[in-house]
A and B are shown apart, each in its own frame.
Chain A
Amino acid sequence: MTTHASPPTGQAAVAAVDLVKVYGSGDTAVRALDGVSVGFGRAGFTAIMGSSGSGKSTLMHCLAGLDTATSGRVLLGGTELTGQSDRTLTRARRDRIGFVFQSFNLLPQLTAAQNITLPLDLAGREPDRELFAHLVDVLGLGQRLGHRPSELSGGQQQRVALARALVSRPEVVFADEPTGNLDSRSGAEVLGILRDSVRDLGQTVVMVTHDPVAAAYADRVVLLADGRIAGDIAAPDQGAITEALRSLAVAA
């Protein structure tokens, strides 16, 4: 197990500095994030792991501009997201961030193709035809573009969601338990695609998961416990991850 320092926040695709998030107030206040500082380098595939309530999803939401932190800073490619207006955050999500969710979250009334280009449509931008064709080809969606989500399998829906996240060439793709609702084969496909996007397209990917198998696809694992960074593993394998999680559980 190798622990190494986070890359300097200035060079990171996205970074948190001393991030604190408190839910509720007074006696019932919960510190979901308790001073987290972490950076995610460009063209890296990082998995954030931790048990339920460790703050991993909250960290992702804050990094992605979906939620605002109580204190601390979030830097997206060097620009400050903290304290920005809803309009700025919305634009950042639209133009610079991609999302993949556990429950796919495709719009039922749009076809697969329309779902893929949705963020670009909202921005009024033309999709990059070449990239679109490449993604459709890599994701094996060629025959499915005219279908609606209800006519697709879970794996296919998640691949559409992946294409949606990747087609706008975002600075960071955030994936929240992307394999949680998939069988192991579809899950492996999705994770393979995420890894390939990092390798082939230079995409930055941050993935929240509790599954060591999924995390093993990443080239770095950040461990969270009780709202703090509890470990940072480079080039992990499944055994190392399981070991780290076990030692965390023992420590708790």
Chain B
Amino acid sequence: MRATVLRTQVSAAARRPGRLILTGLAILVASFVVFGTVLAQDITERTARDNLSGTPAGTDLVIGDPEQPPLALTELRDVRAVPGVAEAVGRVAIGVSVAGGYVNLEADPGVGPLATVRLVQGRYPERPGEIAVSPRTVERLGLTVGTVTTGTGGDLSTGAPLTVTGVVDTPVDGGTNAYAPDDAVIAWGHLSGVERIDLRAAPGAVQAVRQRVSAAVPADQPVRSGAEVRDAEADAAAEQVGKLFALVGMFVAIAVAAAALVVTSTFRIVFAQRMQHLALLRAVGAGRSTLVGALTAEGALTGLVAGVVGVAAALAVGQALPPILRAFGAVVSSPGLPLGAAVAVVLGAVVLTVVAVLAPAFSAARVSPLEALRAASVTAGRRGIGASRLVSGALLIIGALLAGVAAVRRMPTPGQESYDPTTGLLLLVASGALAFLALVALGPLLVRPVLAVAGWPLRQLGALGRLAVGGIGGTPRRASAVSVVVALGVTLISGVVIGGASMRVVADRDMALSAPADYEVAGEAGTTLPVAVLARARAESGALTRVVPYRMVNDVALLRGGERLGGAEAGYSTTDLDLSALPTLADLAVAQGSLADRGPGRVVLGDWVARTAGLRAGDTVTLGHDRSTVDVRVAAILPDRGPLYAGILADRADLDRIGGPTAYTGLLADAARAGEDGRAAGVRALRQAVGTTAGLHISVLADERDRNDAVLNALVWITAGLVSLTVLIAVVGVGSTTALSVVERVRESGLLRAVGLSRTGLRAMLTVESGLYGVIGATFGLLLGVPYAWLAVRALGLNAPLSLPVLPLVGLFAALVGLTALAGVLPARRASRVSPVTALGVEG
């Protein structure tokens, strides 16, 4: 009997491979994603290994290590003298101040197998004082070939001339790169040693040279082969990749869990459709456990097929993609053939499917043999939920609330110091997971209320809308099962969107303070800005705009009744920067008081200053500097520090009264034009303005801002991309659910066609139904995602505002509804093609 039942079930499944794939589609996609991730890690690791920019491939031996003391020049000379050494280059880098900026001067042979740069213009330096620079450095610092400038660096105490002889391409161009041969760098900078020596041996002499070199250098200097060093560098790169993919793995795991939820739901549908068949088997004597066994075996078969197809597809894409990308000029290595991982993914797919099929199998096997005698071909699904599900749902809600309350209680108070967000965030994650499980348990009860609200406009559209809403509402358990998966995706994405928006506000606020303008010109403490420099900068209106000079005094004390307030011994840095002159400072966040209140006799304090000095907005305090004092009132307190890291923002008149410097100490300016060209033009103009004035540096603050922006953008997009995996599974789930439901409701489709629903109408109705899964899921998802994202932002303690990025969230909602509707298009087309006679299933 057992074997017979198994055979009927499995052969029924095998006879309809389409249905089998449809049931296991989510598992197929999950297997594809998991194995795709394995291959992606392999590709990334290989690409990182194949394209290292550290030690050149021609290096046979490496002497020394950054951890060890530098190698003396005599040792470099000794190594070069060792018989069999074809080439030995010292690696060392020094920071060099040049007019209007800073370069990193690196020792590099420039030609030969040990070079890391390639000459593109002029000639490579030979003598001390000659340098080659990267293209971006040419742009930024105006160091064209032939330029002679003065630089200070290494062990030089006074400036020495530097001549640019060439331009070189370098692996990473930071805009501050200069190169010269090791002897030239050492001689120019009066250096006494190098960090390490890269060595190339004569052909066939590597082993002999290694022994001789080891004898020639001190015992504490390691001698390693070039391959070893490259491997170590590659391992370090691979470790980075591994860490990155550990994070990726977390998101993939969520997607896999979503796939399991989807498959549980699709199996429930498939088994429900076979209820009469199963009841018949029970009626003729099949035991419950026999049925469970047969259904589970069917699940295992589904998992096996889906896993194999998914892995094979990932393998095909993984092998095909790198050559295609290479054809477009990208540097990408091909992956290997990780057979072990492939087998593991297939096995995982089988195990996951079996686990997912157990609950539906057990409930299907509970079918009463009497069902076989009922007329209806499909047993109507239960609408409500059982008591045990209700109770566990309630318990999960209580758990979620408890964890949530505990997290809220741990949230930082304004100005709290040494706050560790880890516990709070973990509590929130736990609370969110419990809330989601509660949604899974109680979903069927929530489908109808959501439909009542969200379906209202559809119902107004006429019979079609009413039918679609009714079709979904009629099977709330199914609707809930597929919608919660959509909800999981939406929860995660809305969390990323809201978190990203809050982080952006924090980053912008931060950037407004540390980089209020594109450029800053300032010197060491005590340097003043000549009036002529300011005038020349203001005259460069084609390249510069909003040139704002300021004074910065580093040692202003806060006094009350002759007592120094606060802990800063040296006093607080104070500036008279005009906040209204720069747009970035227009909307500074304020913790207390009002910025409009500032003016003569009033100051604005940074949060840290206010706290250490025990001051609040409205308090009066005395500013002291050099024995002069002035009484001021605190107009406002900023939530963090002030612009340019100043602790106190004072009015110009007050700074005069306490004997501040009469000349400006620095200026801020913005580029007049956008883009890299505009920025380079601004730097050139400032360099012109500064001219030969000693001690003034030009900082491109905008570069830092761009880097931070790029990092934040990349972070948000990567996270959103990873989270989209779950959305993909959810959409697949909606598609297969609609497809299976359509099969089951073919009679209903036939009837609707018979009583006058057009083909287009039927298609529209089924597509709308599919989209409604998206509406329900996205509603659940936003209801969960928005509050939890807000709590998480609060728990991070970044003092970020709770933002609700309405447009992206509305877009997300619309996109999800659109995607889920799209998932229903194919099944709807198929259903609408069936003739009403066939659909009604009446014999002629």
- Enumerate chain A interface residues (CB-CB to B < 8 A): 23, 32, 52-53, 55, 57-58, 61, 64, 66-67, 86-87, 90-91, 93-95, 99, 101-103, 105, 107-110, 114, 118-119, 121-124, 150, 164, 176, 181
At the interface, yes or no: B759 with Cβ under 8 Å from chain A? yes
Contact call B755/A94, Cβ cutoff below 8 A: yes
Contact call B380/A124, Cβ cutoff below 8 A: no
Q: What are 25 A-B pairs with beta-carbon distances under 8 A?
A: A57-B843, A58-B844, A64-B754, A66-B840, A67-B835, A86-B759, A87-B759, A90-B759, A91-B756, A93-B753, A94-B755, A94-B757, A101-B840, A101-B842, A103-B375, A105-B840, A107-B748, A108-B474, A108-B748, A109-B467, A110-B467, A110-B470, A114-B466, A122-B757, A176-B842
Contacts of B758 in A (CB 8 A): 86-87, 90-91
Contact call B756/A94, Cβ cutoff below 8 A: yes
When chains A and B are docked, how far (Å) is the Cα of A87 from the Cα of B757? 9
Contact call B755/A109, Cβ cutoff below 8 A: no
Q: Mark B461-501, 1 if CB is under 8 A from A, else 0.
A: 01110110011011000000000000000000000000000
User: Min CB distance, B773 to chain A, in Å?
Assistant: 15
When chains A and B are docked, how far (Å) is the Cα of A108 from the Cα of B755? 15
User: Min CB distance, A83 to chain B, in Å?
Assistant: 16
Contact among A52, A90, A103, A150 for B757, CB-based, below 8 A: A90
At the interface, yes or no: B331 with Cβ under 8 Å from chain A? no
Contact call B751/A122, Cβ cutoff below 8 A: no
What is the size, in residues, of chain B's interface with A at 8 Å between Cβ atoms? Answer: 31
Q: Mark B119-159, 1 if CB is under 8 A from A, else 0.
A: 00000000000000000000000000000000000000000
Contacts of A87 in B (CB 8 A): 758-759
Contacts of A66 in B (CB 8 A): 754, 835-837, 840
Contact residues of B: prevailing secondary structure: helix
With CB as the reference atom, state the residue of chain A lying closest to B376: A103
Besides A66-B836, A94-B756, A164-B755, 12 new A-B residue pairs in contact (Cβ under 8 A), listed by A number: A55-B844, A57-B842, A58-B844, A61-B844, A64-B754, A66-B754, A67-B837, A86-B759, A87-B758, A107-B467, A107-B470, A108-B748
Knowing A99-B754, A122-B755 touch, does A105 contact B463 (C-beta < 8 A)? Answer: no
Q: Mark B719-752, 1 if CB is under 8 A from A, else 0.
A: 0000000000000000000000000000110111
Contacts of A99 in B (CB 8 A): 754-755
At the interface, yes or no: B761 with Cβ under 8 Å from chain A? yes
When chains A and B are docked, how far (Å) is the Cα of A145 from the Cα of B552? 84
When chains A and B are docked, how far (Å) is the Cα of A64 from the Cα of B758? 15
User: Min CB distance, B510 to chain A, in Å?
Assistant: 55
With CB as the reference atom, state the residue of chain B lying closest to A107: B748
Contacts of A119 in B (CB 8 A): 755-756
Contact among A58, A86, A121 for B466, CB-based, below 8 A: A121
When chains A and B are docked, how far (Å) is the Cα of A101 from the Cα of B752? 13
Name which of A118, A150, A176 has the most chain B CB atoms within 10 A of its CB. Answer: A118
When chains A and B are docked, how far (Å) is the Cα of A174 from the Cα of B836? 15
Contact among B380, B754, B843 for A108, CB-based, below 8 A: B380
Contacts of B752 in A (CB 8 A): 107, 122
Q: Mark B442-459, 1 if CB is under 8 A from A, else 0.
A: 000000000000000000
With CB as the reference atom, state the residue of chain B lying closest to A64: B754
With CB as the reference atom, state the residue of chain B lying closest to A148: B474
With CB as the reference atom, state the residue of chain A lying closest to B747: A105
Contacts of A55 in B (CB 8 A): 844
When chains A and B are docked, how far (Å) is the Cα of A86 from the Cα of B464? 19
When chains A and B are docked, how far (Å) is the Cα of A101 from the Cα of B837? 12
User: Min CB distance, A18 to chain B, in Å?
Assistant: 19
Contact call B462/A124, Cβ cutoff below 8 A: yes
Contact call A122/B761, Cβ cutoff below 8 A: yes
Contacts of A102 in B (CB 8 A): 842
